[in-house]
Amino acid sequence: MTTATTRHSDRRISPVFLGICAVTAVTGWATWTGFAEKPGIAVFLFVTGAWIVSLCLHEYAHARTALHSGDITIGAKGYLTLNPLKYTHALLSIVLPVIFVIMGGIGLPGGAVFIERDRIRGRWRHSLISAAGPLTNVLFAVACTAPFWLDALDGVPSEFRYALAFLALLQVSAAILNFLPVPGLDGYGVIEPWLSYDIKRQIEPFAPFGLLFVFALLWVPQVNSVFFDLVDAVLHGLQVDRGEASSGWSLYRFWT
């Protein structure tokens, strides 16, 4: 019997995603070579494109893990095509994270793909599905910082170095935020299967407000300082200087 998940069209990469990748590649090349006459615009398009690509891969990781864990409806929903327009909340998944990058230089996690959890058996599988997304951000952060710890940026225009450092900051901050054990975030999804029914029932009403709660806390100077100190520590361990990431954010906001 052929299910929706076995149709080739359900797994074909979306032209929308390919278009975003093309914009990212072209503007990345223009920044890398110094070809762009206005590097700020090229950096903006490069970082925004790469950030959206990482958001798509984040959601794809959730979906693909859910598919192999038992939710055979994933393919029919279009989640395997990497098309951001197929997400349950395109505004929350793509638009808001980009806005928060512009406003505060923070990799705010988005969401979401709708997973039919009733089809999945086993607490470990549920935890792995939740962890798959932020683990993608971790891998993306490693990829962004590899040129730094491999000393592969000699002779490359500083604009590209700064853009890559800023993109690494976004990935690190997104991974940290996503792994917080706050209802509505992936970190809570990792531990939720191991909680008692009574605890989950008490927490459930607060789940829709978890992300807003985290965002509000980041506006508290003391919390913001601790958070970015942690981000800085991770970036330093990956041999990326926070000053370069800050320069990347300044370039990214070319209109200021």
| Active site residues per annotation | 59
Q: Which residues contact 239 (CB under 8 A, 6 or more apart)?
A: 145, 148, 149
How many other CB atoms are found less than 10 A from the CB of residue 36? Answer: 21
| Residue from 146, 220, 208, 133 nearest 177 by CA | 133
Map the chain to HEC letters.
Answer: CCCHHHCHHHCCCCHHHHHHHHHHHHHHHHHHHCCCCCHHHHHHHHHHHHHHHHHHHHHHHHHHHHHHHCCCCCHHHCHHHCCHHHCCCHHHHHHHHHHHHHHHCCCCCCCCCCCCHHHCCCHHHHHHHHHHHHHHHHHHHHHHHHHHHCCCCCCCCHHHHHHHHHHHHHHHHHHHHHCCCCCCCHHHHHHHHHCCHHHHHHHHHHHHHHHHHHHHHHCCHHHHHHHHHHHHHHHHHCCCCHHHHHHHHHHHCCCC
